[in-house]
Structure 1
Amino acid sequence: MNHTPRTRTVVSCTMLVVALGAGGTACSGGGNPLTDKPYDATDQISFNGPKGAGKKADPDKPLEVTAEDDDGRITDVTAIDATGRFVTGELSADGTRWHSTSPLAADAHYTVRVSTEDEDGAPGRKVLAFDTSKPTTKKRLTVEFGPKSGQYGVGQPITAKLNKPVKDKAQRAVVERALRVDSVPAVQGTWYWVDDKELHYRPKDYWPAHATVQVRSDLDGVKVGDRLWGTKTKPLKLTIGDRVIAVTDAASHSMTFYKNDEEIKQIPVTTGKPGFDTRNGVKVVLGKEYFVRMRSATVGISEGSADSYDLPVYYATRVTWSGEYVHAAPWSVGSQGYANVSHGCTGMSTGNAEWFFDHVEEGDVVRVVNSQGDTMETFGNGFGDWNLDWKKWRQGSALVSGTPDGPRPEDAARLRPQSV
């Protein structure tokens, strides 16, 4: 016996409920179940106030989409605001209900695309639109990205400084999810919470040479915590220069300068003497100063002691905030390449220091090995971020800590080739 298949599509002739909090009813007013034309869904959304034209949804309430028909199911829901921010959500196993799992933004316009399928497999599509109200509190969370836009070396971390502390892990996840870092070519990276008000972002490995990095915040209008809402943030764009890595071997008293993985120059140096040993590990160039007056009193050495000094120093490349530099040290040329006699800095001849000064930029990597000194601090004295291995770095994230290594599903698309 032949049967003529029924072509009932859930959104065209059955009930679709779209709700923020309690449910309202949304049924198609047209005869074409595949229409993709948005319509004003104000009357189909429930609010904490009176319904009607011009009313807006409460962003504090989750978004729900429900198919009220035993013969049909929802197959997919995409909710996105006018700035391109997606709302994550979960679809029930039977396809009857979808609900948001990330907060809606306040004072935003949303478009919700609902894909459906009836019992015979016929597809349907419905597009809903609504606006959310403004937050009722003036308590705002602001973010300041660093460094300034410009060109940097492959070791430059991204920083995000908050104006208010965020301690709760769930709230940190909301913040971290909204801080977006996109690069061409794409990299695997994540944020690390240095403390309640500062995050650092770095890739698993150094940035690729000549990459373009764009950083933005999607926190504007997003509820972070009780009466705390995100606000607009100035985006950041970095370009990455050549892959410059200088490796100082304190045991052999030499620095090897690499550019794009090619050895360019070997420089005789002197590093910290016993008691003033240079820090081991990876440091990042913080800045360059043609002239610095270096005085021992600024690092706790008493004036008049055997180790006191007051020297004019040229071609000084800073690698820590506490005063460690790579610089010209004409007074120790006889020891360079043979002995470590400095108070912690890396000294070289004036000619070599000028060459180094001219060939590095902020964000380039300076690595010290085989020193008797401690390892460079991870945070607080410059950028020692690279001295944490990737496993430990991931543990500082509110999103990926405790999860398998690799990009999050929602970030997978960002690791595909793209253009900036």
Structure 2
Amino acid sequence: MGTFLLAGALVLTGCTSKDSGTPLGVGDKPAGDTGPAPKAKIVADPGVDAKDVPVLKPIRISVTDGQLTDVSVTNADGKAVKGEVAADKLSWANSEHLGYGKTYTYSAKAMGSDNKPVELKGTFTTMNPAKQARATVNPIDNATVGVGMPISVKFQEGFAPKDKAAVEKALKVETTPKVEGSWAWLSASQVDWRPKEYWPANTKVNVSANLYGVDFGNGYGKSDVTSKFSIGRNQVLKVNTPDHKLLVYRNGSLAATYPSSNGSDADPDRNTPNGTMIVMTREEVGDFSNPKYGYTNVKKKWSLRISNHGEYIHENEENRANIGRNNTSHGCVNLLESDAKALFDTTLLGDPVEVTGAKASMPTTSDVNDWLFSWDKWKSMSALK
């Protein structure tokens, strides 16, 4: 009995008659042949000489009135396409995807119930789309992040999938323990997954963006992308701006209190805005130059960025007289250097920062605005209703 082979991300097409479009099986009796035809018939889908076969189309070779004895599907380099014959030996199916713009060759043999052998040979060619779009996933592999960190899938610059539902159907989030969450489109080229509530501490997360071969309506997926990461301890930073202090809660208990000077109360444009943000970057030295307000070459230590709207948490010894007493910053949370360093050393990307008490609210144009939406609003931003 022959060896059953399959290999290399590929897709097979069914054998079809060029005249009728009907699947052509080995064992059909040619016109004018008066001899008895073998009972067994092999049919391939996609068919012989098929063109522009989708790379995700399943390959299936099947036989009636007999059993398969050998199946081989190979790419242009002669490498086998991975696949498996069913236990009843009536069909074969591939177990890996096909490549774009490739030609595949298949050969199948079977023994009929009348003990007569039949064979089917042919080739087919896969599609080669002009537009193939890449995507990235964040957090990256092996990262440990805070309990507010969303999962973000972003497409390459200049590409916005037309069929957003097709994208979401190709995305999968697996967590241990199980966590309720949903995808939401934050822009034409970015879709995020956020839990309903903050992640449970120490959750393990496995993200699969199976986008290869997916039809986006204006292009096709270039490749699959995955990520496995972990959620760290539960730490939440809280700032009620009139109190002039930053509170650190760890595992639900108050772990530290640091005096602060927050955004100017009198000017909404200089408030530290209300809302739930997350720590987006950690910079030992941050550049806070702002010619609009007349200062340049301003560097501050132990800087935690919480938006692209301009807000950070950082040391500001030059504002020591107001820290813990008055809100005088241009929107940042100013700390004493020793406190800023202590906070920096205990902070993860993705730690939530909850701000209350200000006259202004954080605009939803921030880079990471996932927690600025209610849960009902968030779910409504999914393409899958």
Regarding TM over 0.5, the answer is: yes
Contact 2:167–2:216 under 8 Å retained in 1: yes
Residue 264 of structure 2 is aligned to residue 279 of structure 1: no
The superposition leaves residues 232-272 of structure 1 with CA deviations (integer Å, 9 ceiling, x where unpaired) of 23422211111110000112222211111111112221111
Q: CA 1:110–1:255 in structure 2 vs 1: closer, same or farther (change >3 Å)? A: same
Q: How many residues align?
A: 302
Q: 1:129 maps to which residue?
A: 92
The superposition leaves residues 291-318 of structure 1 with CA deviations (integer Å, 9 ceiling, x where unpaired) of 2343231xx22x3xxxx57644222111
Tell me how far apart the structure 2 counterparts of residues 140 and 310 of structure 1 sit (CA, whole Å): 43
Q: Write out aligned runs for 1:98-113 (5 A).
A: none
Residue 160 of structure 2 is aligned to residue 197 of structure 1: no
State the 1:392 CA deviation. Answer: 0.9
The superposition leaves residues 191-227 of structure 1 with CA deviations (integer Å, 9 ceiling, x where unpaired) of 222222221221111222111212222122333336x
Q: CA 1:344–1:20 in structure 2 vs 1: closer, same or farther (change >3 Å)? A: farther
State the 1:61 CA deviation. Answer: 10
The superposition leaves residues 153-175 of structure 1 with CA deviations (integer Å, 9 ceiling, x where unpaired) of 1111122121363453xx21111
Q: CA 1:45–1:312 in structure 2 vs 1: closer, same or farther (change >3 Å)? A: closer
Q: 1:206 maps to which residue?
A: 198
Tell me how far apart the structure 1 counterparts of residues 380 and 85 of structure 2 sit (CA, whole Å): 35
Q: 2:112 maps to which residue?
A: none
Q: 2:372 maps to which residue?
A: 387
Give the unaligned 5+ runs of structure 2. Answer: 1-12, 26-39, 61-79, 99-124
Contact 1:293–1:311 under 8 Å retained in 2: yes
The counterpart of 1:288, out of the listed 273, 276, 282, is 282
1:44 counterpart SS class: strand
Residue 223 of structure 2 is aligned to residue 260 of structure 1: no
The counterpart of 1:354, out of the listed 318, 341, 346, is 341
Query: Once superposed, what is the RMSD of the aligned Cα atoms?
Result: 3.5
Tell me how far apart the structure 1 counterparts of residues 15 and 359 of structure 2 sit (CA, whole Å): 62
Tell me how far apart the structure 2 counterparts of residues 383 and 341 of structure 1 sit (CA, whole Å): 25
Tell me how far apart the structure 2 counterparts of residues 108 and 144 of structure 1 sit (CA, whole Å): 28
- One-letter code aligned to 1:141: A
State the 1:338 CA deviation. Answer: 2.7
Residue 229 of structure 2 is aligned to residue 238 of structure 1: yes
Q: Write out aligned runs for 1:21-420 (5 A).
A: 43-47=42-46, 49-50=48-49, 58-59=53-54, 128-131=91-94, 134-149=126-141, 150-163=143-156, 165-168=159-162, 171-225=163-217, 228-273=219-264, 274-275=266-267, 276-297=270-291, 300-301=292-293, 303=294, 308=295, 311-373=298-360, 375-379=361-365, 381-399=366-384, 401=385
Contact 1:109–1:129 under 8 Å retained in 2: no
The superposition leaves residues 384-409 of structure 1 with CA deviations (integer Å, 9 ceiling, x where unpaired) of 2111111111111111x3xxxxxxxx
1:356 counterpart SS class: helix
Contact 2:176–2:204 under 8 Å retained in 1: yes
The superposition leaves residues 174-197 of structure 1 with CA deviations (integer Å, 9 ceiling, x where unpaired) of 111112222211212222222222
Tell me how far apart the structure 2 counterparts of residues 201 and 312 of structure 1 sit (CA, whole Å): 34
State the 1:356 CA deviation. Answer: 0.8
Contact 1:286–1:362 under 8 Å retained in 2: yes
2:379 counterpart SS class: helix
- One-letter code aligned to 1:336: I
Contact 2:262–2:333 under 8 Å retained in 1: yes
Q: CA 1:220–1:25 in structure 2 vs 1: closer, same or farther (change >3 Å)? A: same
Tell me how far apart the structure 1 counterparts of residues 325 and 41 of structure 2 sit (CA, whole Å): 79
The superposition leaves residues 121-173 of structure 1 with CA deviations (integer Å, 9 ceiling, x where unpaired) of xxxx99743357632334312211123331111111122121363453xx211
Percent sequence identity over aligned pairs: 26
Contact 1:284–1:362 under 8 Å retained in 2: yes
Give the unaligned 5+ runs of structure 1. Answer: 1-17, 27-40, 66-106, 115-124, 402-420
TM-score between both structures, scaled by the size of structure 2: 0.68
Q: CA 1:233–1:47 in structure 2 vs 1: closer, same or farther (change >3 Å)? A: closer
State the 1:365 CA deviation. Answer: 1.0
Tell me how far apart the structure 2 counterparts of residues 143 and 177 of structure 1 sit (CA, whole Å): 15
TM-score between both structures, scaled by the size of structure 1: 0.63
